[in-house]
């Protein structure tokens, strides 16, 4: 309920000890609630107001201007307000960050780096799988959100030395494994999600052919034969009743034949729809897997055609999140499906999951081989992960010195301007590193930044990561590494 100024004044006045806040006059002694005490009192009531005052150091400045300690000015019954006010901080959501502008930990720069590497990776001959690894709560989903923004929107940084690379637009498929782990086989909801996301880009004709394929997949020919048999029986009944001397029999036979024909058609349609893949049900997928000739080859071909048609208009990336919440059998089944069924198309699979979770899942499913297969320092689960992914990259950790500033930002005690400060130093770092043309020059810039404030160090490191992913520097690095090809293992 809203209060008037007089009502707020009355509430705040009760907080303070009148004996310590009196003004002597010739006629009387009156209590004086001056402006500083009024603001402090309101801040003790409203934690949001106190947070705003704290953010600029205004609250502490007012308290310091008081002649007596604030604790002595408060009445005894209200002194607990100081503790509750100091313990009160703004609520913080646990949801992943979506907007790149809200990045305070340098994750957007890592997403820019990853986006640039993806854009410059040639996958004309097959799919490419990337493992974004990190424990729960490390920010994997946030990085996926930033990566999606970078790929879909593009970036001016793609223009290297004034030559803008003409790239197709990107189609991003978001697949939450945790929400779909109840569906078996694991590859079916993934295929369905890819199709549902891309069907507008694929066009009407392809969507129509996909519709027919799903409708007729399963046991369509057996159903057609069954319907034909019922219609044949109905026709025989009809023909048997054509004699003029058997009018009643003819009428009955005709009615029976019509009922049989209608019932068989409806029954066949219901059964056919239920067994088809039209509604993307798990049971239909299981039926397809059990009754189709070489179903895995069929899915391979379907996905290959989908990806081939899509690549004429758009590049495709599939983001798989929350796989490290799923059961072992589902995790292994989905990753093996990606490795075997979806290799035909030019598509990027980016899987965000904890490395230890995936490793344990493989070792549980293949526990019979755990002791006999493996290498020193590489258990069986790790070997499976290396076989599954072409690139594994961890979520960047937060620099230790930066944690204090980030913590203060979360509790809104001070450093509320950290966002604007980061924007300024990032722009400065970007301009400075534009002049560096080799990886050594970039690394030297990072080394020299160690004497600068933490925010500037972070900005230089972020921009260095992105700069090192530029095509020119990658080409120079590849040229430098070519003489060492003889050092590679035979396998």
Over its C-alpha atoms, the chain yields an Rg (Å, rounded) of 34
CB–CB of 110/97 below 8 Å?
A: no
Per-residue pLDDT tens over the stretch 276-317: 444 455 666 666 666 666 677 888 888 888 888 888 888 999
My answer on whether 198 and 318 are in the same domain is: yes
Q: Is the pLDDT of residue 351 over 90?
A: yes
> How does residue 394 score in pLDDT terms, banded at 50, 70 and 90?
very high
Q: What are the two backbone dihedrals, phi and then psi, of residue 351, each rounded to the nearest 5 degrees?
A: -105, 120
Tokens of 63: 């308290």
Transcribe 364-377 into DSSP letters: HHTGGGTTTS-BTT
User: What is the pLDDT averaged over residues 260-285?
Assistant: 52
User: What is the pLDDT averaged over residues 443-470?
Assistant: 71
Indicate the pTM of the whole model: 0.66
CB atoms within 10 A of CB 251: 11
CB atoms within 10 A of CB 269: 12
CB–CB of 386/362 below 8 Å?
A: no
Which pLDDT score, from 0 to 100, does residue 273 have?
Answer: 46
User: What is the pLDDT averaged over residues 338-357?
Assistant: 92
92, part of any domain? no
CB–CB of 426/462 below 8 Å?
A: yes
Q: Which residue has the higher pLDDT, 240 or 410?
A: 410
Answer with the one of 35, 63, 87 that is the final residue of a domain.
87
CB–CB of 128/390 below 8 Å?
A: yes
CB–CB of 158/116 below 8 Å?
A: yes
My answer on whether 181 and 43 are in the same domain is: no
My answer on whether 420 and 431 are in the same domain is: yes
My answer on whether 384 and 407 are in the same domain is: no
My answer on whether 295 and 234 are in the same domain is: no
Which pLDDT score, from 0 to 100, does residue 301 have?
Answer: 85
CB–CB of 361/216 below 8 Å?
A: no
179, part of any domain? yes
240, part of any domain? yes
Answer with the one of 251, 275, 299 that is the final residue of a domain.
275
The whole-angstrom separation of Cα 50 and Cα 46 is 6
Most confident of 241-245, 309-313, 433-437: 309-313
Helix (H) and strand (E) counts in the chain: 23, 9
Full 3-state SS string of 211-278 = HHHHHHCCCHHHHHHHHHHHHHHHHHHHHHCCCHHHHHHHHHHHHHHHHHHHHHHHHHHHHHHHHCCC
What domain range is 49 assigned to? 5-87
**62-71, 82-91, 360-369: lowest mean pLDDT where?**
82-91
466, part of any domain? yes
Which pLDDT score, from 0 to 100, does residue 344 have?
Answer: 80
My answer on whether 122 and 200 are in the same domain is: yes
93, part of any domain? no
My answer on whether 204 and 297 are in the same domain is: yes
My answer on whether 374 and 300 are in the same domain is: yes
- CA separation, residue 198 to residues 47, 134, 148, 194 (Å): 48, 29, 15, 6
My answer on whether 305 and 405 are in the same domain is: no
Answer with the one of 228, 249, 275 that is the final residue of a domain.
275
Percent of the chain's residues with pLDDT above 70: 63
Which pLDDT score, from 0 to 100, does residue 28 have?
Answer: 46
User: What is the pLDDT averaged over residues 177-196?
Assistant: 91
Per-residue pLDDT tens over the stretch 472-483: 666 666 656 666
The whole-angstrom separation of Cα 18 and Cα 217 is 86
Which pLDDT score, from 0 to 100, does residue 222 have?
Answer: 52
The whole-angstrom separation of Cα 243 and Cα 261 is 21
Q: β-pairing, 314-321 with 347-353? A: parallel
Q: Put residue 377 in one of left, alpha, beta given phi > 0 → left and psi -120 to 50 → alpha.
A: left
The whole-angstrom separation of Cα 269 and Cα 372 is 53
Q: Which residue has the higher pLDDT, 248 or 117?
A: 117
381, part of any domain? yes
248, part of any domain? yes
My answer on whether 283 and 356 are in the same domain is: yes
Q: What are the two backbone dihedrals, phi and then psi, of residue 226, each rounded to the nearest 5 degrees?
A: -60, -45
The whole-angstrom separation of Cα 267 and Cα 275 is 12
Q: End-to-end distance of the chain based on CA atoms, in angstroms?
A: 74
In the chain, the number of structural domains is 4
**29-38, 98-107, 291-300: lowest mean pLDDT where?**
29-38
Per-residue pLDDT tens over the stretch 108-164: 888 988 998 898 887 776 789 999 999 998 999 999 999 999 999 865 555 444 444
My answer on whether 324 and 365 are in the same domain is: yes
180, part of any domain? yes
My answer on whether 184 and 246 are in the same domain is: no
The whole-angstrom separation of Cα 329 and Cα 363 is 11
CB–CB of 73/63 below 8 Å?
A: no
CATH number of the domain to which 286 belongs: 3.40.50
């Amino acid at each position: 309920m809203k209060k008037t100024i007089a009502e707020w004044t009355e509430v705040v006045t009760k907080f303070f000890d009148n004996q310590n806040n009196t003004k002597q006059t010739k006629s009387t002694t009156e209590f004086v609630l001056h402006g500083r005490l009024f603001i402090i009192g309101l801040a003790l009531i409203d934690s949001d107001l106190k947070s705003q005052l704290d953010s600029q150091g205004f609250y502490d400045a007012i308290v310091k201007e008081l002649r007596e300690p604030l604790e002595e000015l408060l009445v005894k019954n209200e002194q607990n307000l100081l503790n509750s006010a100091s313990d009160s901080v703004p609520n913080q959501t646990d949801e992943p960050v979506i907007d790149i502008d809200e990045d305070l930990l340098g994750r957007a720069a890592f997403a820019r780096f990853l986006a640039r590497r993806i854009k410059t990776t040639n996958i004309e001959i097959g799919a490419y799988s990337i493992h974004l690894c990190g424990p729960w709560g490390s920010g994997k989903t946030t990085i996926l959100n930033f990566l999606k923004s970078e790929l879909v929107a593009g970036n001016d940084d793609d223009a290297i030395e004034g030559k803008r690379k003409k790239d197709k637009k990107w189609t991003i498929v978001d697949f939450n494994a945790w929400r779909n782990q109840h569906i078996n086989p694991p590859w079916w909801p993934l295929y369905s999600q890819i199709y549902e996301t891309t069907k507008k880009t694929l066009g009407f004709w392809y969507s129509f052919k996909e519709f027919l394929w799903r409708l007729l997949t399963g046991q369509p020919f057996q159903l057609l034969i069954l319907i034909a048999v019922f219609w044949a029986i109905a026709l025989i009944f009809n023909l048997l009743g054509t004699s003029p001397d058997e009018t009643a029999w003819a009428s009955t036979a005709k009615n029976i034949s019509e009922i049989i024909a209608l019932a068989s058609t409806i029954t066949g349609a219901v059964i056919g729809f239920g067994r088809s893949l039209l509604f993307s049900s798990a049971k239909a997928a299981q039926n397809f897997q059990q009754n189709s000739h070489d179903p895995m080859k069929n899915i391979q071909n379907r996905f290959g055609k989908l990806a081939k048609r899509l690549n004429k208009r758009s590049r495709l990336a599939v983001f798989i999140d929350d796989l490290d919440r799923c059961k072992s059998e589902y995790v292994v089944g989905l990753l093996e499906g990606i490795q075997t069924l979806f290799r035909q198309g030019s598509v990027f699979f980016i899987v965000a999951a904890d490395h230890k979770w995936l490793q344990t899942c493989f070792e549980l499913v293949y526990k019979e081989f755990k002791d006999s297969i493996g290498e020193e320092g590489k258990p069986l689960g790790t070997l499976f992960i290396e076989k599954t992914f072409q690139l594994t990259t961890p979520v960047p950790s937060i620099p230790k010195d930066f944690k204090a500033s980030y913590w203060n930002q979360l509790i809104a005690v001070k450093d509320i301007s950290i966002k604007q400060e980061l924007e300024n130093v990032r722009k400065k770092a970007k301009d400075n590193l534009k002049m560096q043309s080799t990886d050594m020059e970039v690394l030297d810039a990072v080394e020299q930044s160690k004497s600068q404030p933490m925010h500037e160090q972070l900005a230089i490191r972020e921009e260095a990561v992105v700069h090192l992913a530029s095509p020119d520097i990658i080409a120079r690095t590849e040229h430098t590494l070519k003489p060492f090809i003889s050092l590679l293992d035979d396998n």
